[in-house]
Structure formats: structure tokens, C-alpha cells
């Protein structure tokens, strides 16, 4: 056994110069694809927030606003933005607490504050009613927008949002709560401004369930090399599964106060999910990804079957679909996500802003 490990170490040592060279030259090919398709990154100051976002060319197409999941950023939509831009004027936005969007230190991380900032972004930057598609926490923000700023929302796609399950105290019985606990710990303790490292050292269960033995050590080495060789750029590393790569990219610029707000229940302050759904008048596509319940009763997913059924009962105009995929549906099964969105947002007549009031 010792001889085998020694041989493995020697192989890795010999390959290290090639690994370093590859990382030095590495550039996610999707960046070039997005650029060739006319999708550009931009920054704009709206109120007290400097929003970072990516935008496709318009040409009079209907607007589709994409809101990513927690701990990711706008780039998580890279696999669907180009084909969607053939039919829509696409905006993919880093909302506060994520990516390169910046907000004041005293900015409150809750649905009311962030939803209001996004509504102001729609009004001042986009300037017309939009189709909105939100994943996870982005889905909750889509609910907030449709309920509270109906004049700006034509229709909403809710991609596996944690409806009811993320409200306190129900959130304490979810798998996500373990991640929120790490965020709370990072805010409470000194994470040395490096949330990626802090999360990795406190998330052995994630690596055990989503990667291979030794992956955490290998990823740590890759992160160190990538930061050394691309110190001015967003952290992106090769050799790992897409979801893990996107999480590392997102968490490199993530504000753990966002997750802490879910941990202590303040994110949903004044935002009752059932009441918000009841007030939505526009068409809604509710997508539920795979979900299960662990032996100890912990919800392993965004919504339980009961959560999804209750959400549908509160909505006046809802299309419900289950998709066999993990939480970030648009990243795992992009074709199915795009087909669902196009069928939903391209068919039928959208209500006017006055009808949505």
C-alpha cells in the first residue's frame, strides 16, 4: 500500500509542471462563446447598489431576466444564455451578496431590500416589463417581484425555489441549513476574507456526497494555483464537475451575510411566501427538481411534495412540472430548461402591466 501511494505521489509530481501550465493557460471556453454571441458584461449604479450583469443584444425581443441561485453568480446561466438570446433580450444579474455586484456594508440581506433593488434595476436599466426566471433564492426573489412589483413582471419561472421550506423555523429541518450554518459561522468568526477556503474546511459532507476521495485537497491546490496565476480574474478552475466549479466561482465573491440571513430567519422578514403567492396575478411556471427526505427527516431538496402542492394551490395561473435533475436545473439539463421556458414564455398572451396590478 505504501509503495502504491509513493508511486502515485511520484506520478503527480511529474505531472505538476503540465498541470501548472494548463491552469496558467486555462480560460473557460464559454466566455468566448458568450462574447461571440454578443453577450457582454456591464456595471451600473442603481440607488446604492452597483449592479454587475451580462446582457445579450436586444433587437426588440422580449426581455428575460435571469436570477441565479445562492452562492452562484450570473455565469451559472452560461449554458443557456446563447440559445435563449435568439428569442429574448437576456439579462443575467448578480444580485446583492453575489458576484461583482457591490452594496454598502449596512445593506440588509433580505427579500424586501434585494427585491426592491432589483425592481429599481428593471425600471431604470431595462425600462420595460420582463419575463423573470429565478433559481433557488433567485426564485424567491422572482416571487417577491411578481407579488410586489406586478407592473414590471409579465410572467415568472420559479426554478426549484425553496418555498415555505426556507421560512423559519422550517428551514432548520433542511439540508441547506447546514450550509447556512457555515455562513453564520463565517460571519461570527474570522474567515480572513476567504469564504471559499472557509467553506471547504467546514463542508466535508458536501465533498463526500458530490466528489471523490481526496477531492478537497486537490481542489485546494488548484485554487492556490489559479489564484497565483490569475490573481486579477474571477476564480475558475478546471478538472472538477460543472456544479462544483460554479460554486467555487460564486463563493469566491459571496457575502456570507446572505446565508446567515437564512440561518437566523431574517431573510424572509416581512416576506410571507403563502401571502406573496396569493397576490401574484401573472402566469407562473413552477419547476420542481429532485427531492427526498433523509432517514433523520431532513429535507434533501428545495421543496417537499407538500410544499410544491401548496404553492400551486396559492397561485391563480400556474403550470407545474417536475424535472429529473438536481437543484440547478438549467446547469444540469439545459435543453429541458430552455424548452420549458420557451414554451411557457413564448406561448399565450402576456398580461399588460395594468392587468397585473
Asked whether 350 and 154 are in contact (CB, 8 A), the reply is yes
The residue that leads in pLDDT, 212 or 171, is 171
State yes or no: pLDDT of 173 exceeds 70: yes
φ/ψ (deg, to 5) at 43: -130, 145
Q: What is the model's pLDDT at position 67?
A: 98
Q: What is the model's pLDDT at position 5?
A: 57
Q: Lowest mean pLDDT: which of 122-126, 142-146, 208-212?
A: 208-212
Asked whether 138 and 69 are in contact (CB, 8 A), the reply is yes
Structure confidence by residue, pLDDT tens digits, 51-85: 999 999 988 899 999 999 999 999 999 999 999 99
Percentage of the residues of the chain whose pLDDT score is greater than 70: 86
The CATH number, out of the four listed (1.10.10.60, 3.30.420.40, 3.90.25.10, 3.40.50.1820), of the domain defined by the range 28-175+266-346 = 3.40.50.1820
State yes or no: pLDDT of 27 exceeds 60: yes
Tell me how far apart the alpha carbons of residues 282 and 351 are, in angstroms, rounded to a whole number: 7
The residue that leads in pLDDT, 322 or 355, is 322
CA dihedral 84, 166, 251, 28 (to 10 degrees): -20
The residue that leads in pLDDT, 345 or 238, is 345
φ/ψ (deg, to 5) at 93: -115, 135
Q: What is the model's pLDDT at position 23?
A: 61
Q: What is the model's pLDDT at position 117?
A: 98
Which pTM value belongs to this model? 0.88
Residue 43: partners with Cβ closer than 8 Å, 6 or more residues away: 50, 51, 52, 53, 100
pLDDT bracket for residue 168 (50, 70, 90): very high
Cell 509530481, residue located = 13
The residue that leads in pLDDT, 183 or 24, is 183
Mean pLDDT of 18-45: 80
Asked whether 330 and 337 are in contact (CB, 8 A), the reply is yes
Residue ranges covered by each domain of the chain = 28-175+266-346
For residue 328, the SS3 value is coil
State yes or no: pLDDT of 232 exceeds 80: no
Asked whether 46 and 124 are in contact (CB, 8 A), the reply is yes
Amino acid at each position: 500500500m505504501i509503495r502504491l501511494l509513493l508511486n502515485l505521489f511520484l506520478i503527480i509530481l511529474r505531472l505538476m509542471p503540465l498541470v501548472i501550465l494548463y491552469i496558467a493557460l486555462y480560460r473557460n471556453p464559454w466566455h468566448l462563446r458568450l462574447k461571440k454571441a454578443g453577450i457582454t458584461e456591464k456595471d451600473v449604479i442603481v440607488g446604492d447598489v452597483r449592479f454587475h450583469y451580462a446582457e445579450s443584444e436586444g433587437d426588440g425581443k422580449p426581455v428575460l431576466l435571469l436570477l441565479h441561485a445562492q452562492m452562484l453568480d450570473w455565469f451559472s446561466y452560461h449554458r443557456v444564455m446563447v440559445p435563449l438570446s435568439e428569442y429574448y433580450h437576456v439579462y443575467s444579474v448578480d444580485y446583492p451578496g453575489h458576484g461583482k455586484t457591490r452594496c454598502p456594508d449596512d445593506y440588509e440581506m433580505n427579500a424586501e431590500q434585494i427585491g426592491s433593488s432589483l425592481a429599481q434595476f428593471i425600471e431604470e436599466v431595462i425600462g420595460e416589463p420582463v419575463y423573470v426566471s429565478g433559481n433557488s433564492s433567485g426564485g424567491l426573489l422572482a416571487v417577491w417581484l411578481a407579488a410586489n412589483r406586478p407592473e414590471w413582471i409579465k410572467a415568472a419561472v420559479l426554478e426549484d425555489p425553496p418555498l415555505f421550506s426556507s421560512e423559519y423555523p422550517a428551514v432548520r429541518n433542511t439540508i441547506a441549513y447546514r450550509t447556512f450554518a457555515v455562513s453564520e459561522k463565517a460571519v461570527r468568526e474570522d474567515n480572513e476574507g476567504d469564504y471559499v477556503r472557509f467553506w471547504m474546511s467546514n463542508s466535508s459532507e458536501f465533498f463526500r456526497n458530490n466528489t471523490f476521495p481526496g477531492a478537497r485537497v486537490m481542489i485546494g491546490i488548484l485554487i492556490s494555483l489559479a489564484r497565483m496565476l490569475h490573481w486579477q480574474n474571477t476564480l475558475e478552475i478546471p478538472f472538477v464537475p460543472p456544479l462544483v466549479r460554479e460554486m467555487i466561482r460564486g463563493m469566491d465573491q459571496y457575502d456570507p451575510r446572505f446565508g446567515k440571513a437564512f440561518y437566523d430567519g431574517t431573510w424572509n422578514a416581512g416576506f410571507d411566501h403563502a401571502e406573496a403567492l396569493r397576490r401574484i396575478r401573472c402566469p407562473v411556471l413552477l419547476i420542481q427538481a429532485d427531492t427526498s427526505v433523509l432517514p433523520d427527516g431532513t429535507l434533501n431538496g428545495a421543496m417537499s411534495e407538500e410544499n410544491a402542492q401548496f404553492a400551486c394551490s396559492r397561485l391563480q395561473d400556474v403550470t407545474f412540472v417536475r424535472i429529473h435533475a438536481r437543484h440547478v436545473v438549467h446547469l444540469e439539463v439545459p435543453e429541458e430548461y430552455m424548452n420549458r421556458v420557451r414554451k411557457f414564455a413564448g406561448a399565450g398572451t402576456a398580461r399588460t402591466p395594468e392587468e397585473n396590478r
